[in-house]
Amino acid sequence: MSDTLFTNVRILDGTGTLPYSGSVLVQGNRIRQVGRSTAPISPAGATVIDGAGATLMPGMCEAHTHFSWNDAATLAAIQTMPLEEHVLWCAKVAKKYLESGFTSCLGAACAKPRLDVVTRNAINSGQIPGPRYLAASQEITVPGGLGDETLPHLPFPEFSFGVNVNGAEDMRKVVRMFLKYGVDSIKLNLSGDNFVPGANSHTTWMTDAEVAAAAEEVKMRNKRIIVHARSAASVKQALRHGIRLIYHASFTDTETLDMLEAARDEVFVAPGIAILYALLNEAEPWGVTRETAVSWGYQEEWDAALESLSKMHKRGIRILPGGDYGFAFNPHYQNARDLEFFVKYLGFTPMEAIRSTTLYGGQIMLQPHELGVIKEGFLADLLLVDGDPLANLSILRDPKRLLAVMKDGKFAKAPEIVSQRAWGQAA
Ligand SMILES: [Zn+2]
β-sheet with 136-141: strand ranges across: 163-164, 136-141, 185-189, 224-229, 245-248, 268-270, 318-319
Distance 66 CA to ligand 1 centre (A): 7
Distance 74 CA to ligand 1 centre (A): 13
Distance 301 CA to ligand 1 centre (A): 16
Residue-wise pLDDT tens digits, 31-81 = 999 998 766 677 778 999 999 999 999 999 999 999 999 999 999 899 999
Distance 127 CA to ligand 1 centre (A): 26
Distance 261 CA to ligand 1 centre (A): 23
Residue-wise pLDDT tens digits, 212-259 = 999 999 999 999 999 999 999 999 999 999 999 999 999 999 999 999
Report the C-alpha gap between 136 and 337 in whole angstroms.
23
Distance 421 CA to ligand 1 centre (A): 46
Q: 362 — phi, psi (to 5°)?
A: -60, -35
pTM of the model: 0.95
Distance 150 CA to ligand 1 centre (A): 19
- Surface-to-core class of residue 288, CB atoms within 10 Å of its CB (0-12 exposed, 13-18 middle, 19+ buried): buried
Q: What is the mean pLDDT of residues 358-371?
A: 98
Beta strand pairing status for 55-58 and 47-50? unpaired
Q: Which amino acid is present at 329? A: F
Q: Is the pLDDT of residue 422 over 80?
A: no
Q: What is the mean pLDDT of residues 84-108?
A: 98
Average confidence score pLDDT of the chain = 95
Q: How far apart are the first and last CA of the chain?
A: 19
**pLDDT confidence tier of residue 427, bands split at 50, 70 and 90:** very low
Cα dihedral 142/332/309/198 (nearest 10): -30
Residue-wise pLDDT tens digits, 290-330 = 999 999 999 999 999 999 999 999 999 999 999 899 999 99
Q: What is the mean pLDDT of residues 180-199?
A: 97
Report the C-alpha gap between 14 and 213 in whole angstroms.
38
Distance 387 CA to ligand 1 centre (A): 31
